[in-house]
């Protein structure tokens, strides 16, 4: 069966949105699609779910831009192809798909996504979840501001408080409070190792609840991570959404669509001064 002859609607229904259409794959990858060649038929027949999910995320993140001429650098494709076959987590697939979309340029020469792909490859699912959660909070708490993350002053002015219980929900870990905090600490220090958060952070910060007339709301402070973004961390967040063409400070631009992941809790749209404190 020729994959290019499959009806797109049927393909989507069968979970084969990206790889079922040879034309769509060629438009996404450009000449680099030749590296896949005859394997497309086998992939469609076997329904390689992991790679298909990644390519599907890439197509979705590109949106209308996929109609413009472009190509993905062959070295980037090789990295995605070799690593992506083993990516089963949905959020990790979004990262790979977003970086694949970000690597698509008019001439296909740009291979800057390689270093970010290598970083994502080395991160655990928990690390990726914490990274995504932190930058969801960074964006929501500073939305609309003009902050230069390339300088230390800008990064320190852009702190974010993430409750431990929210970290636990995002990481999907259970157990005692000590076990939950240990998992959060492990991922936090991993993010620090890869320069995905700034070195100035606190894991024993107290998050004060908002004032409320509702008597049932607790007034007790909640333990939280006080974390600062980094240039590389913000860049990875933007590129994972397919926005390699945006400046780092545009992470705070409300006009740019940075949709949340279905795998993650939604960060509240509050400012750091609204209900937080030492």
Are residue 231 and residue 136 in the same domain, yes or no? yes
Domain boundary among 122, 156, 191: 122
> How many structural domains compose the chain?
2
Residue 261 lies in a domain: no
Are residue 78 and residue 147 in the same domain, yes or no? no
- Which range has the worst mean pLDDT, 99-108, 161-170, 241-250? 161-170
Are residue 154 and residue 232 in the same domain, yes or no? yes
Are residue 79 and residue 45 in the same domain, yes or no? yes
Are residue 156 and residue 95 in the same domain, yes or no? no
pLDDT in the model for residue 157: 86
Are residue 76 and residue 21 in the same domain, yes or no? yes
Range of the domain at 14: 3-122
Domain boundary among 74, 100, 122: 122
Residue 92 lies in a domain: yes
Rounded Cα–Cα distance for residues 267 and 134 (Å): 9
Element (H, E) at 131: helix 125-141
> What percentage of the chain has pLDDT greater than the value 90?
40
Residue 263 lies in a domain: no
pLDDT in the model for residue 246: 92
Max CA-CA distance within the chain?
Answer: 66
Rounded Cα–Cα distance for residues 141 and 268 (Å): 8
pLDDT in the model for residue 190: 95
Indicate the pTM of the whole model: 0.78
Bin 172: left if φ > 0, else alpha if -120 < ψ < 50, else beta. left
Residue 259 lies in a domain: no
Between residues 184 and 8, the one the model is more confident about = 184
Are residue 130 and residue 114 in the same domain, yes or no? no
Inform me whether the pLDDT recorded for 93 exceeds 50. Answer: yes
Inform me whether the pLDDT recorded for 2 exceeds 70. Answer: no
Cβ(98)–Cβ(241) under 8 Å?
A: yes
Are residue 90 and residue 140 in the same domain, yes or no? no
Q: pLDDT for 13-44, tens place per residue? A: 334 444 546 677 777 777 767 656 655 555 44
Residue 18 lies in a domain: yes
Are residue 247 and residue 170 in the same domain, yes or no? yes
Residue 269 lies in a domain: no
Residue 277 lies in a domain: no
Domain boundary among 105, 122, 139: 122
Are residue 115 and residue 130 in the same domain, yes or no? no
pLDDT in the model for residue 233: 96
Are residue 22 and residue 109 in the same domain, yes or no? yes
Average pLDDT over the chain reads 79
User: Number of C-alpha atoms within 13 angstroms, CB side, residue 96?
Assistant: 29
Are residue 166 and residue 116 in the same domain, yes or no? no
| Exposure b/e, 176-200, CB count within 10 A at least 16 = b | eeeebbebbeebbebbbebebbbee
Residue 276 lies in a domain: no
């Amino acid at each position: 069966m020729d994959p290019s002859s499959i009806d797109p609607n049927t393909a989507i229904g069968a979970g084969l949105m990206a790889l079922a259409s040879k034309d769509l794959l060629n438009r996404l990858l450009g000449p680099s699609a030749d590296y896949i060649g005859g394997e497309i038929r086998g992939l469609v027949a076997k329904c390689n779910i992991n790679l298909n999910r990644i390519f599907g995320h890439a197509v979705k993140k590109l949106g209308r831009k996929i109609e413009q001429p472009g190509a993905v650098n062959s070295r980037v494709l090789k990295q995605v192809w070799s690593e992506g076959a083993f990516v089963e987590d949905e959020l990790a697939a979004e990262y790979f798909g977003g970086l694949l979309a970000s690597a698509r340029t008019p001439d296909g020469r740009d291979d800057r996504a390689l270093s970010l792909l290598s970083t994502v490859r080395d991160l655990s699912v928990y690390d990726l979840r914490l990274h995504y959660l932190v930058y969801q909070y960074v964006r929501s708490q500073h939305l609309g501001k003009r902050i230069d993350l390339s300088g230390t002053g800008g990064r320190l002015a852009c702190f974010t408080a993430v409750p431990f219980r929210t970290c636990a929900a995002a990481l999907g870990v259970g157990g005692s409070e000590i076990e939950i905090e240990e998992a959060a600490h492990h991922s936090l220090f991993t993010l620090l190792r890869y320069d995905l958060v700034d070195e100035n952070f606190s894991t024993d910060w107290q998050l004060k609840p908002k004032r409320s007339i509702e008597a049932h709301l607790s007034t007790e402070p909640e333990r939280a991570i006080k974390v600062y973004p980094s240039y590389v961390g913000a860049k990875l967040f933007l590129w994972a959404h397919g926005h390699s063409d945006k400046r780092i400070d545009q992470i705070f631009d409300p006009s740019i669509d940075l949709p949340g992941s279905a795998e993650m809790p939604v960060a509240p749209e509050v400012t750091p001064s609204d209900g937080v404190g030492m």
